[in-house]
Structure 1
């Protein structure tokens, strides 16, 4: 290997048999909550933003697209370029940039300014989320890796379940700028807490442009990261149009749609914890194989079976659990695959989430126009099948040499 690997769990005092570092992990989770709310709150603010700025909803949706593109490109590069920074400083800097972008968005008066602010937010978030995961693993130690990642990434899933609806409610009641202002406040609190609570000298593998190149030129590691884009893409084929599906099939209005999305959000929170438990008990590879198999069954069922509303809602909740149980085992799998490249692998994995969600949404739109709602589940399942194939490919031993 080009770079020596320093085993973080062996040299970090917090890494022991139990999660002695849980307070620090909770602050890392809060940082991810702020990042997740800031990233996805736009989903619930499209109409207020469009009305206030005098633009179409399609133009307002560019706030999501631009964020995803900047994050996907910027996160791996930023993690590589800042690899020499002390981890506490890197996290604090990332949260400061993210919070500054959120504040700028709240104070913006036109679409161009908001787009620029969103790009700044994406750069800060692209540094925070992968570094937070890397630090969480280092603080907890190998034996508690799954549970530690579940805590850290619990902030992201909680943001989808609670933060996004809260931001949407604030946006409709008091204006979208106040929602971004709240994100800025959360970012400031997180930055201060991380600066004060994280120990100095948390030792992790050092990221660099050389390690980024090494991952991108490694077929094994690139395929491993691609699993995230394929798995997320499959679920977003259907999830993007879940509200439209229940409106059309069950004649649900605003409140009914909100409840159904809330069921999905609660499932995401539960799934995050389930993923951590399964990872520690049966290992990441088996957990991901199980979740892919579940997707192959659940996605077609959701769009093809003539279920009543209660059965459909229960299935949506279970599907969400199976969807969002994937993050922890995938991160743990990447950490085991190349421990010396954890920061870069985590950054690329986070970028793959945005690539997959954008591609899945686009494919879902094409499917809806050509095959209707019935086609969403089977097409999503095809991506899940490709994700399963990537796991099986990785499970095949490489030839000697």
Structure 2
């Protein structure tokens, strides 16, 4: 899906007007344009806030390929002349900041990473994280029409196929892998919805890696249709029905670049799958997903007590699959050594804290640069006056300072958690930072 179409639909019909009598924004909004709402003021509110429709973009780069598309969106904002009421300028600034607001992760995401990295530890009470005789991975891949959208010079589907092939090849001997795809029949036109929503197919049944067979399976389909996440999760339970949790460690990766479009309930399906006799660890990978898509995919992962990650390129996608390979290698060692020593499964928790800290830093940096570039653009095109520019710049600086303080608070908080058990950490985070 082209960038312009993607964001134009999201912000289509956005008409913002301002009345001199106050900061009333008349909005005819379709899609996910930001609401005129109070900006986050605390760490908890930052974590709970939804990302803006332009999160993750790079408007501040002069040669950014989609810069003109974002400029067209900014051109649709109303003018803001000097001398207006401060409340009106504040509302304008909130709209602008909300457009570029990044998705700041809860510290719970770090604790969940710690838990996955501790796979096989005798301290893990959750049976899903205990090694069994067999190790199985099923990948559920979105083949809906939007996966034809390009990242660089390749489609998302091409990148996903390459990453899956490389991942399966890296699994240790004895591990088994399967591949299910959905949305690969018909088209994303209304007349093909029934056909496409029914097209969830196990193209590579669970078996040890066979390079030729998997390559042939990956070659069978291209992205065309609708997104049937709920049905695919239900069928994944059927795929692994013969591999109960008593003797099998089951890991499922759901890969999607958007929300359910086949009228199913993927959150309920995920919850039922996680509670089934196969007891899988369900992880969700969002592939270049917008804010609405991220919200639903996070809910799916949370319902199954799994992990969610949003990736925007092949390297990030490969890195998420790499987690499963690392677990599989631990499983292989566990089988070979006949026991799992605590030292063998202990993780470097500081590594994940550093990654979390870096993620917040990079998002804050990108968000601040984007908003700053947007303010400069609006001033250069005569949309805002000098007084408004100064006010909006101060709002940008205050937002940047808030995110920086929150990052430092959360990093220190996580460092203090490292000696606690997973259950203790989760309970404490839910109490302190609930609302994500």
TM-score normalised by the shorter chain: which range applies?
under 0.3
> Which is higher, the Rg of structure 1 or of structure 2?
2
**TM-score normalised according to structure 1 size:** 0.28
Structure with greater strand share of residues: 2
